[in-house]
Structure 1
Amino acid sequence: MRKLRLHGFNNLTKTLSFNIYDICYAKTARHRKEYIEYIDEAYNAERLTQILTEVSNIIGANILNIAHQDYDPQGASVTMLISEEPVLSEEDLANVERPGPLPDAVVAHLDKSHITVHTYPESHPDGGISTFRADIDVSTCGRISPLRALNFLIHSFESDILTIDYRVRGFTRDVKGKKHFIDHKINSIQNFMSRDTRNRYQMIDVNVYQEHSFHTKMILKEFDLDNYLFGTGVEELSGKEEKEIRKRLQKEMMEIFYGRNITKL
């Protein structure tokens, strides 16, 4: 691909935002409490900092500042300010429409950038459904796209449902003064995911190409009830209980995936 000769710094802002959801059924109040405690420990501020540090390594950023906080009664947040490091190769900087590493060392050219994550563990007061949501934003200003970190982030959380948005904002100028509103090819966020991810999830795209805005929703194709039970197993349930719990879980997942309340399943 022909190198774009710019006038000054590439100041296109590229933002990758996504929500991930993990759903489970916790039968008793004690099980629901234990699920929240488990999630809070598994994804505390220290662990989230480690994950975002790996994201920073993947996109070749220099971490300027880290702010992190565990909340009472639950949840955590991490915010990183990042800046550029020296560029090693044009191949590393190429925003080719293909999956990024899992993870691999990639050096990029960044400035005025940040990475954030916030977590929201919660339980349904009556239905026994518990959910864990994490909101993640990776925003860069420079030549590389944060989509390079998408594979690593998806595999770091292994979630049931994901909603992903990618948007390129602003413009940069070439040496002739012509504006460029995007500097790399993209038809779908899916093209930046590994094959195993695309095989595991059912996906829907809603893309507005003229606005350089891309949206992908993902939900696991396979549903194994044993993977969604916390504190109990399928063998401990009666046939009636198993049917009811399966219905509740699938309703919860469909409501999150489609973004609306569903009266009947």
Structure 2
Amino acid sequence: MEKLQLHGFNNLTKSLSFNIYDICYAKSEEQQRHYIEYIDEAYNAGRLTQILTSVTDIIGAEILNIARQDYEPQGASVTMLISEGDFMPNAISNAEGPGPLPDAVVAHLDKSHITVHTYPESHPHNGISTFRADIDVSTCGRISPLKALNFLIRSFDSDIVIMDYRVRGFTRDISGQKHYIDHEITSIQNYIADVTADRYQMIDVNVYQENIFHTKMILKDFDLDNYLFETAKDALDAAERIAIQKRLKQEMAEIFYGRNYKLRR
């Protein structure tokens, strides 16, 4: 798509919303409590603020205000109000492709926001614990928040990622014609680096005529050791390993497909 010659400012709003999930098995109530404590420490409001500050660097924004809070008994939230950067070099592009490193881009934004909320929780009976983070990046102007996607996925390194991207509103060119999107996009997947994409199975559900794009990702490989919290695989007998693996895979499938399944015996 050719660069638009606009009448005034770019009034399009581009919103990226996604959920990330980390799943583990914590056998005892004490281990479940330790897992929640670990997640609360690893992704407390201070750490989340650092991650979102890096996102503002990637998309060239300036932070106007930060509101952050750690909750009891668990969870944290951070909200940033951001504004346009000082300048927009010609090198900035919304072409489909993975975003650059945080120190490589400065872009132009109007007042926008970035938010993150975390939700650690445990299954009451079967030892499965799940950490979810909801992240929203909304920008106005030329650059798309999809350019921050690579960094965000790397920052959380999750088992499941569910993403939605939408371009809202319209902007006018110098002839007065409305434009409802200012960059070409066929899939969110095209903004994810190959090294990341190779690790995940991905599914798209897109509504092109409405500029709505939806992608779900789930890790391809399953190693039980990566999902046991304070428990070694060697400490479990064969039957326990099989049972725990079934529970974990069921949890992941239910989250990925958005429906409940009965555990097969």
User: Is the shorter-chain TM-score for this pair beyond 0.5, marking a shared fold?
Assistant: yes
The residue that corresponds to 1:237 in the other structure is 236
Match of 1:136 in 2: 135
1:111 corresponds to: 110
Q: Where do 1:7-18 residues align within 5 Å? A: 7-18=7-18
What 5-or-longer segments of structure 1 have no aligned partner? none
Kindly indicate whether residue 25 of structure 2 is the aligned counterpart of residue 19 of structure 1.
no
In the TM superposition, what are the counterparts of 1:54-203 in structure 2 within 5 Å? 54-92=54-92, 94-203=93-202
Higher mean C-alpha deviation, range 99-108 or range 44-53: 99-108
Quick check: 1:249 aligned with 2:248? yes
Q: Which amino acid in structure 2 is aligned with residue 139 of structure 1?
A: S
C-alpha deviation, 1:112, in angstroms? 1.9
Normalised by the length of structure 2, the TM-score is 0.98
Tell me what 2:259 maps to. Answer: 260
Would the aligned equivalents of 2:7 and 2:173 in 1 still touch at CA under 8 Å? yes
SS, match of residue 7 in structure 1: coil
Give the letter for the 1:148 counterpart. K
* Structure 1 CA distance for aligned equivalents of residues 88 and 29 of structure 2: 54
Q: CA deviation at 1:263?
A: 1.4
Quote the sequence identity (%): 73
Instruction: Report how far residue 91 of structure 1 moved.
Output: 1.3
Q: CA RMSD in A?
A: 0.9
Alpha-carbon offset, residue 88 of structure 1: 3.9
Stretch deviating more after TM superposition (251-260 or 102-111):
102-111
Secondary structure at the counterpart of residue 215 of structure 1: strand
User: Distance between the aligned counterparts of 1:179 and 1:103, measured in 2?
Assistant: 32
SS in 1 for 2:250: helix
How many correspondences in the alignment? 264
CA contact (8 A) 1:60 1:105 kept: no
Q: Is the 8 A contact 1:120 1:134 kept in 2?
A: yes
Q: 1:119–1:132: 8 Å Cα contact kept in structure 2?
A: yes
Whole-Å Cα distance in 2 between the matches of residues 146 and 90 of structure 1? 17
Q: Tell me what 2:35 maps to.
A: 35
Q: For 1:149, what is the secondary structure of its paired residue?
A: helix
Listed one character per residue, the Cα deviations across residues 160-197 of structure 1 (whole Å, up to 9, x for unaligned) are 00100000000000011100000001000000000011
**Partner in structure 1 of residue 49 of structure 2:** 49
Q: How far has the Cα of 1:105 moved from its partner?
A: 2.7
Given that 2:246 and 2:263 are in contact with CA atoms closer than 8 Å, whether structure 1 keeps it comes out as: no
Deviations 1:109-164 (A, max 9, x none): 10120000000000011110000000000000111000010000000000000100
TM-fit CA distance, 1:102: 3.7
Inter-partner Cα distance in structure 2 for 1:154 and 1:186 = 19
